[in-house]
Amino acid sequence: MNHFSSVTSLDELKLQYKKLAFKNHPDRGGKTEVMQEINSEYEQLLNRIINEASKDQYQDSSENGRGFWSSRSEHSEVEKKVKQAIDAIINLDGLDIEIIGVWVWVSGDTKQHKDKLKEAGFVWNRVQCKWVFIGKKSSGRGRMTLDQMRELHGSQKVKKTRMAEERKLLTT
């Protein structure tokens, strides 16, 4: 592995990937070959981490209502879809991106990016007044607040680097 170091969990992998993607994405002046290497390593590590996970996480959800993931392959596919959704919008200015579980919430200056968000698979959530990418459908029927979701699933904001702020200052 050339780009990822000491990754032991899915959360660590996602965090390092976001930092690497933000720094090396071709839309930000990075090289396509480097980004392809990063994506390849990400996929390898993702599959390894999921395959090493406890079997208890992958129970048929119909059995006693337990198990969020029905299989390792479902988990892997959802993680890849979430990554693709974030990749599609990470370079759009003015967005606040937050990952809660396998849902990606977007707020901020979204109006100018409405078409790009739709194209990336995001939908408008009128209750939360935010755009959301649904990695995996929930059986919660929308009864939880964002704070309750954060408490249950954890939350991670996708940070924009100082480079994005500097680029914005140069264009104004």
**Could you state, in chain order, the average pLDDT of each consecutive group of 10 residues for the chain (172 residues)?**
85 87 83 91 90 72 58 89 91 91 94 96 94 87 84 81 47 48
Phi then psi for residue 158, to 5 deg, are -85, 115
Dihedral-angle region of residue 20 (phi above 0 means left; psi in -120 to 50 means alpha; beta otherwise): alpha
Which helix (DSSP H) or strand (DSSP E) does residue 16 occupy? helix 10-24
| pLDDT at residue 6, as a whole number | 84
C-alpha count within 13 angstroms, C-beta hemisphere, residue 130: 17
Task: Give a yes or no: residue 43 inside a domain.
Answer: no
| pLDDT at residue 59, as a whole number | 63
Count Cβ atoms below 10 Å from residue 129 Cβ, excluding itself.
Answer: 9
Q: What letter would DSSP give residue 125? A: E
Task: Give a yes or no: residue 59 inside a domain.
Answer: yes
> Is-contact 135 83, C-beta < 8 A?
no
| pLDDT at residue 70, as a whole number | 80
Task: Give a yes or no: residue 98 inside a domain.
Answer: yes
| pLDDT at residue 138, as a whole number | 79
Q: Please provide the DSSP assignment of 139-163 as one string.
A: SSTT-S-HHHHHHHH-EEEEPPPHH
Task: Give a yes or no: residue 141 inside a domain.
Answer: yes
**Measured between alpha carbons, how far is 160 from 50 in angstroms, rounded to an integer?**
27
Task: Give a yes or no: residue 74 inside a domain.
Answer: yes
Q: Residue 120 is part of which domain span?
A: 53-171
Task: Give a yes or no: residue 47 inside a domain.
Answer: no
| pLDDT at residue 166, as a whole number | 46
| pLDDT at residue 167, as a whole number | 47
Task: Give a yes or no: residue 36 inside a domain.
Answer: no
Task: Give a yes or no: residue 3 inside a domain.
Answer: no
Q: How many domains would you assign to the chain?
A: 1
